[in-house]
Structure formats: C-alpha cells, structure tokens
C-alpha cells in the first residue's frame, strides 16, 4: 500500500536508496552470484539465509520468512513507522517529501501525532526550566542527594513539575487545547478541572530511538500511597512495550563509535548513574518486562547484551525472564549478579566504577547464569534437594542445540553437584527421547489449483523466461488480490515497462495479504523442471475451469423439462468434454 504517497514518487525514493547500500550501513553483505547474503538481522542464525536481490530491490530470509523492500527494512531496523522510514530515506537521498494523498482518517491521525510530539517537546523543556526555580527546593534537594551533576541533568533533560496545574496553564498559553494536552498524556480531568498527571514529581523525559520526546517517567519526592515511579499512559506516540529509557543515547553512541555490548538495567536512575560513571551503553525498561520488540530494537544496535538487574530475589527472577526473551530473538546474552542485593547505582557508589567494570568483565553466559541461579534455590547438602537441582539444571541444558554445547554445561553441573558426567549424559538422552516421542507430525495441504495459480503468478512476477501472457489467466481468477496482481503485471508488460518485486510493497499491504506474500516468497528451487511445471499449472487451471463448467451444466440439464433445451445443454457438455480430452486451452 502506498500509504498516502504517489506511487511514482515512492519508486523514485527507492531508486535513490539502493537496498544494498542502505543495508551495508547496518551489517556486512557478501555477494554470491547475482544476490547478496548475510546472517538474518531479525532472527538468530549461524549460517546466512538472509538473501538480498539487488536487481529486484527486495530481501527475503529463508529462515524466518521476513521480507520486504528498502522501506520495510528501515522500519524494522529503526523500529519506526512507515512515515518515519520514508523521512529517513528521503533525507538520505536529499529528496523533498511531497504532499500526502491520504484519506481524512490518516490525515487526522498524522496531525494528532505531530501535535502531541510538539506538546511533549515544549512540556519537556518547561519541566527542565522548572527544576532551576528558587521554589523547586524539594526537587533540588533530591538531585543533590543522588549526587547528580549539571552534566547528567542536562544530558537527560531532567525536570520538575512544580504543582498540579502550572504545566496545564503554561501549555494552554502556548495555544494548545485541553483535550490535546490530555491526549499527550500530560493532563487528566477530575470534577471538571484539568490537572498535571505528573504533579509535584521529578520528571525524566523519555526519548525514542530518533531522539524525540514521547512521554515522561516521574518520581514522587514525598511519601505517597501511589507508586514511587509513574510513567505516561500509552498513546499514539508512546508504548512502553516498544521503547527503552536511554535508547536514544545508545543509538548516538553507536553512530560515534562501535558499541561492543548493551547493558540492561532496571530503572532510570540506574541508567543515569551508569552514564555518570562512564557506562553510556545502557538502557532500562519502563515499568514493564522486556518484550521481543525491545530485544529487536537492541539487536539493531548490537548483538551482545549484558543483563545487570538488581541483585535481590525479584531482580534475579526478572533477569531470567529477560534472558529468555533476548535469547529467543537471537542475541548473545551474558548476565551478572550484583552482590549484597544491590542495584548498579548503589554498587558503583559503594565500591567504584572500576569494581563494576570487573563484574561486567566476569559476566557469565546466560546458560551458566541460569544453572547457578538454580543452584541457589536448593540445599545440595540434602540428597533430595541435590536431585532436584540436577533435574532443573538438565532441563536448562536440554534446550541447547548442539551436543558440544551440552557437554560444556554438563561439566558445569558435575562441578556443582558431584554427579559424574556419564550419568548426567544418560539422563539427558532419556529427556531427548521423551521429547521426540511427544512431538506430533504436522501436515499441511493446499488446493492444487491454488498452488498452480501461485506458481504462474510468481513466475510472471520474477519474469521467468518460460512465463508469458499468451494464456489469459485473469478470467480464471476469483481472488481479488490475484486479479489485481495479474492486471498490474499485464499492464507493465503491455507498456514494456520495468517491473520490480519491490513495487508490490507499495501496491499491496503484503503483511496482511498472505496470498501476495506467498508469491513474493516463492521458492523456485523446490520445482525440478519449472518450464514443464509451468505448462502443467496452466493446464490445471484450465482443467478445473472446464470440469466446473461441465458439472454446472450437468446439474442444470437434470432440471430442464424442455427436450430441445436439454439436448442443447448436453451438446455444450460434449464440446467441453472434448476440450478437456484434447487439452484445448482457449475457448
């Protein structure tokens, strides 16, 4: 779908942003034959299955099935929407973005988003100004207590909400409506009056990966029945499951120098404290568990992550959840446990940044961390407890892919438990056989005619030398997406104009149209003799059509009372059967 832009302009945008050049800014591509290959940036793999077609200007991963053009690639790598990806590419190509051809709903949504971002930017700057008022004693005392210098206050744009109404009054004076301030998440209404939702709190602006203020996290400075920390509610610019505190700083760091790894900590103050100590490669979640979207965002910056959550029980439990999410998205994960149940901020203040660096240097890989974490749950001086530990540890090792990896961690379990390696290995084999016996085969079937249509359309899309428009496929198509695709392909062919697969991402909502997605993803290597198969597919479509016609006419003839009309129908059936026997393609 063009999503409001003229299709010709989008084609020009993509022509000036060669997909190979754009991708090469994020990772290395290796040319093999006509295509380029890399390990997929969207899932974990050791053997490259991510293929980029420079001529057709699109990519496809044969592992996770991710695919798209240069715009969808930028969307996924930058964790942004379509419009932002277009803006990034237009800036890169020094192209002016044209007027929108959007429907009223899309226009209204964009206008609302732009207004909210403007309100948040102005509010953030005003909160920051408020921190330096003579009357902001409470906030200034807290800042001094946390030993934050002007450098950290400026870097993170920390501010203060002086009372429950001042910010609302200020934004109204700037020409914004109360309803707009509410939509931005800054205000709410009670008893007909609007109030600042972050009233009398220290303000931590939240920035997205593009360095735009999208919301706030606020800390209470006095004892309260409410939560100590409060985040903006989700809206059209802010979603806790898609944003991380400090991600804008890490992104800038990557642009300035290489980021070897990213540290994940628990809260905003940990991020600020680590930055103060020189560890600027850190982020924190915003009152929610780490999500797959967070993990993918991190992977776009670095493949390596160290989890450094609080050392208490809750922090270690969260560490395991975080590890599992990161590993499932293909990141290289290590973890540390901070001694004495401290958080990173407390540990650095007590022992120094050098000691924290030692913790990072000695971080263990995620499997060993999970095994050690299990160890702390059992008393190995008791026989039954030791057996439970070994069973839990083997469950962790059993999830690994290779025998060599498993062997390494069996040695770890042996050192911790004293159980011989050969015994542990036998138990692991028993678990593997049990797992295999529980697996049920999955069988997928697809209608032969649908398979034929997909192959014909895919062959036409990819301009295979055996594919042409001699056979008028359109009259045999029912699916609207197939009809539209065929018409587009024929139009380009009739005009003798160049058609690229990447055009389909502008013409269709590919992610929500599996029929089109299957054609883009078609694996021609599964077809032994494509030229012969193409002709067979053409006949299969025609054959089904003829059989359907014969069946319909036969049913009609049974209901016809008039002898003459019945004979005419039988004659039609006979002619169709002759075409069927002789494999005649056209009427």
Structural domain ending residue among the three candidates 414, 438, 462: 438
DSSP code of residue 34: T
Q: Is 582 exposed, middle or buried (0-12, 13-18, 19+ CB in 10 A)?
A: exposed
Residue 372 lies in a domain: no
Four-CA torsion 555, 561, 567, 570, nearest 10 degrees: 0
Same domain, yes or no, for 459 and 396?
A: no
State how beta strands 229-231 and 213-220 pair: antiparallel
Q: What is the pLDDT of residues 123-135, one digit of tens each?
A: 999 999 999 999 9
Residues 292 and 360 in one domain: yes
The reply to whether 264 and 325 lie within a common domain is yes
Q: So what's the pLDDT on residue 293?
A: 87
Total domains present in the chain = 5
Helix (H) or strand (E) holding 61: strand 58-61
Q: With cut-offs at 50, 70 and 90, classify the pLDDT of residue 404.
A: confident
Q: 314, 337, 365 — which closes off a domain?
A: 365
Same domain, yes or no, for 353 and 317? yes
Same domain, 163 and 182: yes
| pLDDT, position 432 | 52
Instruction: Specify the pTM.
Output: 0.69
Task: Find residue 305's DSSP bridge partners.
Answer: 262, 333
pLDDT in tens, 24-72: 888 889 998 889 999 888 877 778 999 999 988 999 988 888 889 999 9
Top-ranked range on mean pLDDT: pick from 54-68, 180-194, 218-232, 388-402: 180-194
pLDDT score recorded for residue 360: 96
Q: Is residue 371 part of a domain?
A: no
- 2 within domain boundaries: no
What residue numbers bound the domain in which 485 lies? Answer: 448-582
Average pLDDT, the chain: 87
Which contacts of 88-93 are long-range, i.e. CB under 8 A and separated by 24 or more positions? Answer: 89/13, 89/14, 89/17, 89/22, 90/13, 92/17, 92/22, 93/13, 93/16, 93/17
57 and 77 both lie in a single domain? yes
175 plus 69 within the same structural domain: no
CA gap 46, 299 in Å, rounded: 15
Give the pLDDT score at 453.
92
1: in domain = no
């Amino acid at each position: 779908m063009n999503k409001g832009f003229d299709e010709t302009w989008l084609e020009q945008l993509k022509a000036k942003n060669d997909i190979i050049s754009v991708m090469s800014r994020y990772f290395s591509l290796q040319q093999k034959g006509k295509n380029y290959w890399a390990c997929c940036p969207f899932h974990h793999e050791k053997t490259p299955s991510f293929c980029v077609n420079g001529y057709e200007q699109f990519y496809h991963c044969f592992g996770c099935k991710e695919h798209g053009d240069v715009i969808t690639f930028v969307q996924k790598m930058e964790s942004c929407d379509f419009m932002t990806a277009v803006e990034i590419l237009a800036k890169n190509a020094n192209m002016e973005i044209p007027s929108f051809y959007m429907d009223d709903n899309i226009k209204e949504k964009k206008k609302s988003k732009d207004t909210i971002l403007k309100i948040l930017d102005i509010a953030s700057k005003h909160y920051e100004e408020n921190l330096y008022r003579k009357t902001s004693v409470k906030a200034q005392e807290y800042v001094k207590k946390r030993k934050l210098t002007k450098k950290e206050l400026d870097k993170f744009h920390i501010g203060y909400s002086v009372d429950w109404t001042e910010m609302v009054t200020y934004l109204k004076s700037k020409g914004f409506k109360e309803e707009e301030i509410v939509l931005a998440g800054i205000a709410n209404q009670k008893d007909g009056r609007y109030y600042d939702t972050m009233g009398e709190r220290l303000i931590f602006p939240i920035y997205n990966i593009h360095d735009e203020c999208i919301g706030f996290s606020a800390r209470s400075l006095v004892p309260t029945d409410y939560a100590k920390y409060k985040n903006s509610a989700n809206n059209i610019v802010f979603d806790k499951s898609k944003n991380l505190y400090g991600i804008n700083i890490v992104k800038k760091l990557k642009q300035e120098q290489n980021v070897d790894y990213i540290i994940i900590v628990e809260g905003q103050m940990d991020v600020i404290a680590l930055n103060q100590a020189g560890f600027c490669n850190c982020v924190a979640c915003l009152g929610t568990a780490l999500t797959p979207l967070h993990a993918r965002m991190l992977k776009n910056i670095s493949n390596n992550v160290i989890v450094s959550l609080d050392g208490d029980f809750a922090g270690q439990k969260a560490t395991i959840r975080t590890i599992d999410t990161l590993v499932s998205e293909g990141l290289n994960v290590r973890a540390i446990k901070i001694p004495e149940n401290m958080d990173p901020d407390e540990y650095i203040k007590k022992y120094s940044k050098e000691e924290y660096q030692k913790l990072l240097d000695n971080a263990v890989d995620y499997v060993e961390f999970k095994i050690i974490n299990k160890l702390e749950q059992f008393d190995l001086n008791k026989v039954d407890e030791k057996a439970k530990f070994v069973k839990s540890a083997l469950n962790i090792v059993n999830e690994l892919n290779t025998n060599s990896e498993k062997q390494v961690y069996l040695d770890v379990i042996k050192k911790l438990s004293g159980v011989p390696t050969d015994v542990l290995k036998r138990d692991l084999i028993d678990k593997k056989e049990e797992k295999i016996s529980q697996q049920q085969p999955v069988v997928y079937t697809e209608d032969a005619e649908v398979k034929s249509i997909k192959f014909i359309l895919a062959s036409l899309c990819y301009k295979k030398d055996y594919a042409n428009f001699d056979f008028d496929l359109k009259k045999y198509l029912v699916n609207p997406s197939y009809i539209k695709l065929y018409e587009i392909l024929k139009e380009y062919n009739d005009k003798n104009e160049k058609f690229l697969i990447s055009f389909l991402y502008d013409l269709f909502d590919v992610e929500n149209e599996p029929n089109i997605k299957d054609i883009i993803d078609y694996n021609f290597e599964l077809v032994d003799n494509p030229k012969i198969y193409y002709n067979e597919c053409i006949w299969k479509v025609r054959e089904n059509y003829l059989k359907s016609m014969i069946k319909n006419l036969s049913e009609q003839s049974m209901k016809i009372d008039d002898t003459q009309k019945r004979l005419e129908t039988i004659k039609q059936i006979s002619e169709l059967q002759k075409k069927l026997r002789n494999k005649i393609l056209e009427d």
